[in-house]
Amino acid sequence: MPSFHWLPQALLPKRRKLPLFGAALAVVLTAGHAPASAKELTKVNFVEAVHNLGYINLYVGMHAGIFEKNGLKLNVSAAGGDTQAFAAVLGKSAPFAIGDATMVQMSREAGGPGIVVGTVVQRAHYFGVSKTLPILTSPKQFKGLTVVTSPDPNTNFSVTKKLLLDNGLKPQVDTKILQVNPGTEIAAMLAGRADMAVAYQPGVSQAESQGAKIVFDFAKYVGPFCNTGIMVLPEYAKAHPDIVLALVKSFEEAGRLVYSDPSYAKKVAREEFPDLPGDVADKAIEAEIKYKIPAQTVVTQKDEWDNLMAMQKFLGNVKYAIPMDKVVDNSFANKAVKEAVDIKAPK
């Protein structure tokens, strides 16, 4: 496997406790354990870039038993960023990860492996949040501000940098971008280190409960956007097609449930983030659904991918020399759409 200068050395993400499923499962998949029945669940190590409500489809799928219905038992851990999540796949400590799908394009262009088999977040799930600024109607109003994001190449940094450049603003000259650890953007803004945080839920709603407000909507500005993809090695997908299909199908069914039953999504959000006030979690889910941020279908749409690649090419992170159909394998997602059923929330 070729080395990648943009990947961290530590491949193993920290584990998190799953509120409804007891102790973490550490068994890695082996051949011959395809999903069969509820009594023969395939145990899958699964990595999320960060634990946030943009990934509500994942959490609803877990809490509603959708993954188990499709024969899978997920052991989910949060990696702490997009590069770390994909590093877990490259290092084979987990067969699947969700995060910025640009990581796969970068890998492929560097001669490495990786494919995207589905979309989990279909909009830029970031909001500009501030305690001091008025509503911003144009990115040109970012001039003179300090904006806090996760570090490059995390998606909220990339989206912010492109937005500035598209509007004639030079990063660190006209607008300062302060880079902090993922998930700490809100805290930096509230501490007065920045005028605005580019952050995701539930931090946004939590900040609103402390007197901040949404002053800029990145989801609307960017439009359709493959913000988060399901990443896997092609060799794994070839060896375990039934497992990949079961996982992708579960995301398809979970996404449908999120949109058909927002009240259940709110219940799941409260359980996944027990330290949040209930009304904050509810408001976060309302915003997620209002702005259509969770993927309504797991199939990666061409306009979503083209917008992601256009941004990353503009920033110089990728050349987009390898076309979408060589990096995104929608065969599992297309089959999942045909096989998926509408799930009702458990009582």
**Same fold: 14-124+224-339 with 128-222:** yes
pLDDT tens per residue, the chain (347 residues)? 333 333 433 333 333 433 333 323 233 333 333 444 446 899 999 999 999 999 999 999 999 999 999 999 999 999 999 999 999 999 999 999 999 999 999 999 999 999 999 999 999 888 999 999 999 999 999 999 999 999 987 888 988 999 999 999 999 999 999 999 988 999 999 999 999 999 988 889 889 999 999 999 888 888 999 999 999 999 999 999 999 999 999 999 999 999 999 999 999 999 999 998 999 999 999 989 998 999 999 999 999 999 999 989 988 999 999 999 999 999 999 999 999 999 999 98
Report CA 105 to chain centroid distance, whole Å. Answer: 16
CATH of domain 14-124+224-339: 3.40.190.10
Contact 315, 102 (CB under 8 A): no
CA 179, CA 153: separation in Å to the nearest integer?
A: 10
Per-residue DSSP letter, 55:
G
Q: What are the sequence ranges of the domains in the chain? A: 14-124+224-339, 128-222
CA 289, CA 275: separation in Å to the nearest integer?
A: 22
- Locus of tokens 């090419």: 313
Contact 298, 255 (CB under 8 A): yes
Report the pLDDT value the prediction gives residue 74, as an integer from 0 to 100. 98
Report the pLDDT value the prediction gives residue 270, as an integer from 0 to 100. 96
Report the pLDDT value the prediction gives residue 203, as an integer from 0 to 100. 86
**In which element (H, E) is residue 116 found?**
strand 115-123
CA 57, CA 257: separation in Å to the nearest integer?
A: 8
Encoding tokens for residue 139? 């990115």
Contact 294, 256 (CB under 8 A): no
**What's the fold here for domain 128-222?**
D-Maltodextrin-Binding Protein; domain 2 (3.40.190)
Cβ neighbours of residue 49 closer than 8 Å, sequence gap 6 or more:
78, 79, 80, 81, 82, 84, 85, 97, 98, 99, 100, 182, 228
What is the per-residue DSSP string for 64-81?
TTHHHHTTEEEEEEE-SS
Cβ neighbours of residue 141 closer than 8 Å, sequence gap 6 or more:
none
CA 72, CA 41: separation in Å to the nearest integer?
A: 5
Contact 29, 240 (CB under 8 A): yes
